Structure 1
Amino acid sequence: MRLIILISLLLLSAQSVATVYRWVDENGKVHYSDEQKNNAEAVELNENTQNNMTIDTPTKINVIPTTEASINYTISITSPQEEAT
């Protein structure tokens, strides 16, 4: 049973390769699709099409502690009254 599932998945993945078509409309806008249009040309995707991103290492920021007194906030609910809705 596992062999049948493995073979069917391999056959299914082989059929999933699609051709990409590129065309330019009358306004000069470039379109890409998997369906062929009348003036579309097939695009060869031989390169690695994955996006690669590099992240710079963060720089250490020296924070100078302040000597100001901390501020205490209080909140009081005035409406609705207790046991009221």
Structure 2
Amino acid sequence: MYIGKVVGNVVSTKKEAALTGYKLMIVELIQRNTQEKLEEIVAIDLVGAGRGEFVLVVRGSSARMATKKHDAPIDAAIIGIIDTFDE
């Protein structure tokens, strides 16, 4: 799992059918101790996260498992909203 911050969203009017109904968010993955930005990724949102919120992100097969769509082209998924974390 990764810690990230939602920094935006992606609007796509045409996309793979397996992605229909999912909100696509831009997430900035961060280093927890320094809050250094590691990279930006696009992740499907499974929990209703909003811009500026810190989130838990899974990637790869874990992201597909979270959706129960094992053949969907999903590489990253937001699976939790972080209320607090110790630094």
- Tell me the TM-score normalized by structure 2: 0.19
* TM-score, normalised via structure 1 length: 0.19
**Structure with larger Rg:** 1
* Larger relative strand fraction: 2
Higher helix proportion (structure 1 or 2): 1
